[in-house]
Amino acid sequence: MESIQIVLIIGLVLMGLINAASLIWAFYLDHRLRQKPVPKVYETHIDSAKVFKESDIQAIENIARGQLEQVMQDASVTLQKAIDDAVGKLATHASELGTHTLDKTFDKYQADLQSLRDQSVQDFAKMQAELNDRRTQLLQQIDQKVVEQYRKRLDEFDTRLADVVSGYLVESLGNNVDLGAQRAYIIRMLEQHKDDIKKDMLA
Amino acid sequence: MSQKARPKALPLPSDLYSPDQLGIIMLELHNYTSKLQKLALKAQVAGDKKDEALPATSALLAELLQATGMQPDDTAELETLLNDLESIRASAPVAHLTLTALPNRTIKRELIEWFRAHIHPHAMITFAIRTDIGGGMLLRAGSRVYDLSFREQLLQHKAIIPKLVRK
């Protein structure tokens, strides 16, 4: 956008300069025409006889004036044509320059936009992946915590249950004892520890 | 006086299982021997050839005499037996068993026979009662105590209880 503006400004400045130059040129030509040496009129007082007649002088002046106007008109046409050509060329060049610059800028803009879009997509994808990972980690941690809590509670419950049941069993087994039923167990225990018992008793 | 071939280890009856019993039997044997000697002396002084009735003995002493093969009227053998018993009482290993109830005679015999078969021929045992052990026994052998009670077994395998309860 800035390039286009610069080009347009330059074009306007150039057109202004050309117009100014045309005006200056026109004033210059006009000035030159006005400064053309006017045939000196030698006032001769020939009282008796005049060189040119008044009508001839008038005719000559008309012819000179017509020639001057023709020259000015030709110069003006030529200048107008030159200005038109210059303006046309300038407009064409400006248009080409603008189009080229616009296309280039637009392509660059599109490329930048695409790059930005790709970058954004990558960033979002990366962010999404990180979020998914984090979410997975959190879910795993939560699951782990839940399992740990469950096991801890279960262990506590098992410990209490074991205490209650073992206490009840020990208390119950102490009543209405049948040593005959324990005889096999006692003998088996003695057999298992026979060597140690012998060593301790004979020590 | 008859000289029999004596076994290396004096056999003790199964009903004689504790040091206290051994002390009582030794005292009884001593009295019995004294009475026997007095009877023999009296018969010798009186010149009475008539057989005097032997003094009464407890069933345990009678069993001991039978188990050892001693003649109940042979004072010399009885004195030898008394010396042997004295020696046994001084050196016999003793195991102290704590059970949840006082065992009957059969279980006592079985236990003492096991100790005499596997530990020592003259092993002695004492019995005590504790109901809080649940079952099984506490065995003190020398300075060491073996906790073979049900309570100890339950405490050692307490972790299995919840699984068993859930089943």
pLDDT given at position A70: 92
Task: Tell me the C-alpha distance between B55 and B93, whole Å.
Answer: 32
Detail the DSSP E strand segments found in chain B. Answer: 94-99, 124-129, 136-141, 144-149
pLDDT digits (tens, 9 = 90+) for B24-58: 999 999 999 999 888 888 888 887 655 667 888 89
Q: What is the mean pLDDT of the segment spanning B111-128?
A: 95
pLDDT higher than threshold 80 for residue B7: no
Task: Tell me the C-alpha distance between B137 and A189, whole Å.
Answer: 9
Mean pLDDT of chain B: 88
Residue A105 host element (H or E): helix A54-173
Number of cross-chain residue pairs from A and B with Cβ atoms under 8 Å apart:
107
Task: Tell me the C-alpha distance between A166 and A164, whole Å.
Answer: 6
CA-nearest residue of chain B to A161?
A: B162
pLDDT given at position A39: 65
Which tokens is A118 given? 């790709």
How far off is chain A from B136, nearest CA to CA, in Å?
6
Residue B12: other Cβ atoms inside 10 A? 24
- DSSP structural state of residue B136: E
pLDDT digits (tens, 9 = 90+) for B58-89: 999 999 999 888 888 888 999 999 999 999 99
CA-nearest residue of chain A to B91?
A: A202
Of B100, B101, B141, the CB nearest to A201: B141
Residue A156: other Cβ atoms inside 10 A? 10
Distance of CA B162 to the CA centre of its chain: 44
DSSP 3-state of A58: helix
Q: Which residues from chain B sit within 8 angstroms of residue A156, using beta carbons?
A: none
Identity of the amino acid at B49: K
Q: Does residue B19 belong to the interface with chain A, where contact is any CB pair within 8 Å?
A: no
DSSP 3-state of B18: coil
Matching residue, tokens 């012819």: A63
How far off is chain A from B119, nearest CA to CA, in Å?
5
Q: Does residue A104 belong to the interface with chain B, where contact is any CB pair within 8 Å?
A: no
Of A157, A169, A194, the CB nearest to B118: A194
Q: Which residues from chain A sit within 8 angstroms of residue B101, using beta carbons?
A: 177, 179
Of A162, A187, A203, the CB nearest to B158: A162
Q: Which residues from chain A sit within 8 angstroms of residue B133, using beta carbons?
A: 170, 174
Query: What stretches in chain A show pLDDT beneath 50?
Result: none
Distant-in-sequence contacts of B9-12, Cβ < 8 A, 24+ apart:
B9/B121, B9/B122, B10/B68, B10/B81, B10/B84, B10/B85, B10/B88, B10/B122, B11/B67, B11/B68, B11/B121, B12/B64, B12/B67, B12/B88, B12/B116, B12/B121, B12/B122
Mean pLDDT of chain A: 87
pLDDT given at position B50: 59
Burial A59-76 (b: 16+ CB within 10 A, else e): eeeeeeeeeeeeeeeeee
Mutation target for B interface from A172, A173, A191: give the one with most B CBs within 10 A.
A173
Q: Does residue B129 belong to the interface with chain A, where contact is any CB pair within 8 Å?
A: no
- Of the candidates A23, A18, A33, A187, which has an alpha carbon nearest to the alpha carbon of residue A89? A18
Q: Does residue B124 belong to the interface with chain A, where contact is any CB pair within 8 Å?
A: no
Residue B77: other Cβ atoms inside 10 A? 21
Cβ separation A187–B110 shorter than 8 A: yes
Task: Tell me the C-alpha distance between A200 and B26, whole Å.
Answer: 27
pLDDT given at position A47: 53
Cα dihedral A55, A60, A66, A68 sign? negative
Task: Tell me the C-alpha distance between A111 and B76, whole Å.
Answer: 131
Q: Does residue A131 belong to the interface with chain B, where contact is any CB pair within 8 Å?
A: no
How far off is chain A from B28, nearest CA to CA, in Å?
28
| Beta-strand relationship, B136-141 and B94-99 | antiparallel
Matching residue, tokens 């020398």: B142
Cβ separation B107–A170 shorter than 8 A: no
CA-nearest residue of chain B to A192?
A: B148
Which tokens is B8 given? 């290396």
The ipTM is: 0.84
How far off is chain B from A137, nearest CA to CA, in Å?
33
B99 DSSP β-pair partners: B129
Q: Which residues from chain A sit within 8 angstroms of residue B120, using beta carbons?
A: 198, 201-202
Q: What is the mean pLDDT of the segment spanning B156-162?
A: 84
- DSSP structural state of residue B133: G
Q: Does residue B127 belong to the interface with chain A, where contact is any CB pair within 8 Å?
A: no
pLDDT given at position A16: 92
User: Would you call A51 exposed, middle or buried from its count of C-beta atoms within 10 A (0-12, 13-18, 19+)?
Assistant: exposed
pLDDT higher than threshold 70 for residue B8: no
DSSP 3-state of A193: coil
Task: Tell me the C-alpha distance between B62 and A99, whole Å.
Answer: 140
pLDDT digits (tens, 9 = 90+) for A109-165: 888 889 889 999 999 999 999 999 999 999 999 999 999 999 999 889 988 988 888
Cβ separation B137–A189 shorter than 8 A: yes
How far off is chain A from B117, nearest CA to CA, in Å?
11
